[in-house]
């Protein structure tokens, strides 16, 4: 089938209906190949060359380099490898037939959280917050099971079964265009609203296209029956008789990845009768037949029968990548919550300082009013400012309490402990505004680093490879079914002379010369000594006329492959823009922090000078209050600028997908749910004591 690209109409037309010349050529090649008796692989290649559509592999993408698909880490949430069967037939033959047990999930907090509670307070560093989140976060805990589900798909595919998919959920926060499950903060979050594994949650409807692979798990069937029958005589040739028949039939069936199917049947019967016409009772019969069937066109070859395995392995790597992506987003989410808490905590301190200053000014004004050196209006103005500052402090304290609850939800799995709920969180880290190395690199260097490390790109490339497998499987499904088979069998009889045969009204019984007197062992021996062989070869040919379903499936698989190519290119473009925005935002944020620090210092000095003037009688209360409001606004601006810088710095690490290596987070330990080494966060400094405590 050949696709035109001259116009949309022609493109659609060629998809729906191949040109007549190509159809005739394909049919001619097919029938000539069959009639001439060419080898099966040559016939397959000829049909593919006649109907093959031009396709571009994942390695043909011209604009951006694909991320390096390195050897994946052995990420497992449990000690068991679910890609392997439960037990070995020789070691524990009943293990494959017993249900699998999965340990119950823990809903308790990790001991690390209890160790941080001191005197009713939680002194929390960013490193401890991230370590607690890695141990207790529900999104990460749920994601761990997806890796086991992907392993189970590998186990299914090795038996020739279709894939179920793991449905991994990622991206549970707002960052770079992704959907958030929480509003103004984080927490363990809900997995609802995330994105399915793969690129943008694309559902590959043509996945698994092509012939169904051979079922490589062997199966043994047995049919045992006991029949007791009595017939009524209705003429001399059909006398009344009782016949007992026992049958013992067995079959063994197994497929192979070469497109071969093997079947062995072994049937046995034991018949006794008092019918005087029957010459033998009991009569034992044993037959066997071994049949081997080989696909020559559709379904032939190792690759087409193992393509589910290849896709399942790719899906396992996609799941590992989505787990890494989930950890990246969770770490970034918790870090944003932490800096939100720091902002709220320092805002409370700023509001307390403002209230302290306004209260002191109001007290001084009241003293001056008592001695008659100040007008009553100035006292009312100062008292009004005190009331406003108290309201601002209460609002800020409420925000701080809310941020503490959000952070507790993010780092704890169980919030039923009253002591934990009541404990206040004291953040001990502050961000340093020193320039990080990423700000000194060029945009192109950062973009290339993101291209090699972003998990979304790795998932997109693996999804593209799966699409390519589907395209090849759909092409194989276009071929006719041509199977060659051969069989070898035999039958054997044995028994004893029927004692009732002497009552035969037609005379005595003359046993056949080739019937051996003996028991079951004699019958089995006769079946396998080639005394009564049954052997032959043949082939089956099924040619679907017009073949429209297979054509539609092949075209659909190819179209989805083209879509995946476009989505991959689109992802490159989006990541490039995200990197540029993240670097520019970080540079602007630091400049804004420096400007806010200068403004805060200027307003602090202006307030000190205005207070001195007031004491000397050269200023008024209104001017001092105005300067206090200016200082409060400058402090708020500095807090906001610092929090924005901290969040954008974490966002740059996430955009580059370097958060884990920057913080020293071990992904294998995270997959196991145990943090052996606390993350080390660069670019931090300890919190400074409040000005009132600095003495």
Q: Which of 495, 525, 542 finishes a domain? A: 542
> Which of 523, 542, 561 finishes a domain?
542
What pLDDT score was predicted for residue 541? 94
Instruction: Determine the pLDDT at residue 126.
Output: 92
pLDDT band at 334 (very low <50, low <70, confident <90, very high): very high
For residue 32, the enclosing domain spans 8-51
Of 195-204, 376-385, 667-676, the range with the highest mean pLDDT is 667-676
Q: What is the pLDDT averaged over residues 670-676?
A: 86
Q: What mean pLDDT comes out for the span 648-669?
A: 90
Q: Residues 655-672: what's their mean pLDDT?
A: 90
Top-confidence residue, 274 or 448 = 448
pLDDT at 380: 75
Cβ within 8 Å of residue 160, ≥6 positions away: 212, 213, 214, 215, 216, 217, 255, 305, 308
**Main-chain phi, psi angles of 424, to 5 degrees:** -85, 140
pLDDT of residue 58: 38
Report whether pLDDT(174) > 80.
no
* pLDDT given at position 341: 93
Pick from 225, 438, 447, 176: which is nearest to 333 by CA? 176
Mean pLDDT throughout 491-512? 69
Contacts of 265 by beta carbon, 8 Å cutoff, 6+ apart: 249, 250, 251, 287, 288, 289
pLDDT at 18 over 50: no
Of 32-36, 343-347, 515-519, give the lowest mean pLDDT range.
32-36
**Once rounded to an integer, what is the mean pLDDT over residues 85-110?**
78
Which tops the pLDDT comparison, 479 or 240? 479
Q: pLDDT (tens digit, 9 = 90+) per residue, 458-499? A: 999 999 999 999 999 999 999 999 999 999 999 988 888 777
Q: Reply yes or no on whether the pLDDT at 630 is more than 90.
A: no
Select from 493, 508, 542 the last residue of a domain. Answer: 542
- Residue 146 domain-assigned (yes or no): no
Structural domains in the chain (count): 2
Summarize the confidence of residues 172-201 as an average pLDDT: 35
- Which pLDDT does position 225 carry in this prediction? 93
In tens, the pLDDT along 408-423 reads: 988 988 888 888 888 8
Going by pLDDT thresholds of 50, 70 and 90, the confidence category of residue 237 is: low
Answer whether residue 620 is part of any domain: no
For 337, other C-beta atoms within 10 Å of its C-beta total 27
Question: Above 70 in pLDDT, residue 51?
Answer: no
In this structure, is residue 489 part of a structural domain? Answer: yes
Residue 351: pLDDT band with limits 50, 70, 90: confident
Q: Is residue 449 part of a domain?
A: no
Using the CB atoms, write b or e for 551-569: b if 16+ within 10 Å: bebbbbbbebbeebbebbe
pLDDT at res. 151: 87
- 476 touches 306 (CB < 8 A): no
Whether residue 627 lies inside any domain: the answer is: no
In a domain, 374, yes or no: no
Q: Is residue 362 predicted with pLDDT exceeding 60?
A: yes
The neighbouring-strand residues paired with 252 are 220, 264
| For range 119-143, the mean pLDDT | 90
Q: Is residue 511 part of a domain?
A: yes
pLDDT of residue 450: 92
**Cβ neighbours for 605, distance < 8 A, ≥ 6 positions apart:** none
More confident residue, 220 or 195: 220
Beta bridge partners, 295, equal 483
Q: DSSP secondary-structure letter at 232?
A: -
* pLDDT of 1 over the 60 cut: no
pLDDT tens digits, residue range 253-269? 999 999 999 999 999 99
Q: Give the three-state DSSP class for 245.
A: strand
Paired strand residues for 497 = 280
Percent of the chain whose pLDDT exceeds 90? 33
Q: Whole-angstrom Cα distance, residue 674 to residue 659?
A: 18
Comparing 534-538, 612-616, 668-672, the range with the smallest average pLDDT is 612-616
CB neighbours of 208 closer than 8 A, spacing ≥ 6?
162, 163, 308, 311, 470, 473
| Residue range 561-590: mean pLDDT, rounded | 91
pLDDT value at 70 more than 90:
no
Angstrom distance (rounded) from CA 607 to CA 609:
5
Residue 670 lies in a domain: no
Residue 513: pLDDT band (50, 70, 90) is low
Looking at the predicted structure, is the pLDDT value of residue 204 above 70?
no
Average pLDDT, the chain: 78
């Amino acid at each position: 089938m050949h696709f035109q690209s001259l116009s949309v109409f022609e493109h659609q037309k060629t998809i729906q209906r191949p040109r007549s010349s190509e159809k005739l050529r394909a049919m001619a090649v097919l029938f000539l190949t069959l009639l001439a008796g060419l080898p099966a692989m040559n016939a397959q290649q000829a049909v593919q060359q006649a109907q093959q559509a031009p396709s571009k592999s994942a390695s043909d993408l011209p604009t951006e380099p694909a991320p390096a698909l390195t050897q994946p880490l052995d990420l497992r949430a449990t000690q068991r490898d679910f890609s392997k069967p439960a037990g070995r037939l020789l070691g524990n033959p009943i293990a494959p037939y017993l249900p699998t047990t999965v340990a119950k999930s823990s809903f308790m907090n990790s001991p690390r959280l209890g160790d941080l509670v001191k005197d009713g307070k939680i002194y929390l560093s960013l490193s401890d917050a991230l370590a607690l989140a890695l141990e207790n976060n529900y999104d990460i805990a749920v994601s761990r099971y997806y890796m086991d589900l992907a392993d189970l798909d590998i186990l299914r595919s090795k038996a020739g079964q279709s894939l179920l998919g793991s449905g991994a959920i990622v991206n549970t926060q707002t960052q770079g265009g992704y959907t958030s499950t929480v509003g103004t903060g984080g927490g363990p979050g809900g997995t609802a609203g995330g994105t399915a594994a793969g690129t943008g949650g694309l559902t590959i409807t043509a996945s698994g296209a092509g012939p169904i692979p051979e079922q490589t798990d062997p199966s043994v069937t047995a049919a045992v029956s006991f029949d007791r029958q009595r017939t009524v005589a209705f003429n001399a040739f059909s006398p009344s008789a009782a016949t007992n028949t026992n049958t013992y039939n067995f079959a063994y069936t197994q497929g192979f990845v070469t497109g071969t199917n093997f079947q062995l049947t072994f049937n046995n019967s034991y018949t006794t009768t008092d019918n005087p016409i029957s010459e033998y009772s009991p009569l034992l019969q044993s037959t066997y037949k071994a049949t081997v069937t080989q696909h020559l066109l559709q379904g032939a070859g190792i690759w087409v029968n193992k393509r589910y395995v290849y896709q399942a392995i790719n899906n396992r790597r996609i799941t590992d990548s989505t787990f890494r992506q989930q950890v990246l987003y969770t770490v970034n989410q918790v870090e944003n919550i932490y800096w939100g808490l720091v902002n709220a905590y320092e805002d409370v301190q700023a509001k307390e300082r403002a209230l302290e200053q306004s209260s002191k000014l109001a007290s001084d004004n009241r003293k001056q009013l008592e001695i008659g050196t100040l007008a009553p209006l100035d006292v009312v103005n100062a008292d009004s400012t005190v009331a406003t500052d108290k309201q601002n402090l209460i609002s800020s304290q409420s925000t701080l309490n809310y941020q503490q609850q959000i952070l507790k939800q993010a780092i704890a799995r169980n919030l039923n402990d009253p002591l934990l709920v009541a404990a206040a969180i004291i953040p001990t880290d502050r961000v340093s505004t020193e320039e990080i190395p990423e700000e000194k690199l060029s945009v192109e260097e950062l973009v290339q680093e993101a291209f090699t490390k972003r998990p979304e790109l790795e998932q997109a490339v693996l999804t593209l490879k799966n699409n390519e497998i589907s395209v090849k499987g759909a092409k194989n499904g276009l071929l006719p079914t041509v199977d060659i088979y051969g069989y070898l069998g035999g039958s054997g009889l044995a028994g004893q002379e029927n004692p009732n045969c002497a009552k035969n009204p037609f005379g005595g019984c003359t046993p056949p010369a080739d019937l051996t007197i003996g028991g079951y062992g004699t019958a089995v021996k006769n079946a396998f000594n080639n005394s009564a062989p049954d052997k032959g070869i043949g082939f089956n040919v099924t040619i679907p006329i017009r073949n429209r379903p297979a054509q539609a499936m092949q075209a659909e698989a190819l179209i989805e492959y083209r879509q995946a190519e476009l989505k991959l290119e689109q992802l490159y473009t989006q990541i490039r823009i995200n990197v540029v925005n993240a670097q520019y935002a970080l540079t602007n944020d630091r400049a804004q922090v420096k400007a806010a620090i200068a403004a805060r210092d200027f307003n602090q000095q202006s307030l000190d000078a205005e207070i001195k003037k007031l004491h000397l009688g050269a200023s008024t209360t209104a001017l001092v209050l105005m300067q206090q409001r200016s200082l409060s606004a400058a402090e708020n601006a500095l807090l906001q600028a610092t929090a924005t810088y901290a969040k954008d710095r974490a966002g740059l690490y996430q955009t580059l997908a370097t958060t884990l290596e920057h913080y020293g987070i071990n992904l294998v330990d995270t997959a196991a749910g145990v943090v052996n080494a606390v993350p080390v966060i660069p670019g931090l400094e300890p919190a400074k004591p409040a000005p009132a405590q600095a003495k």
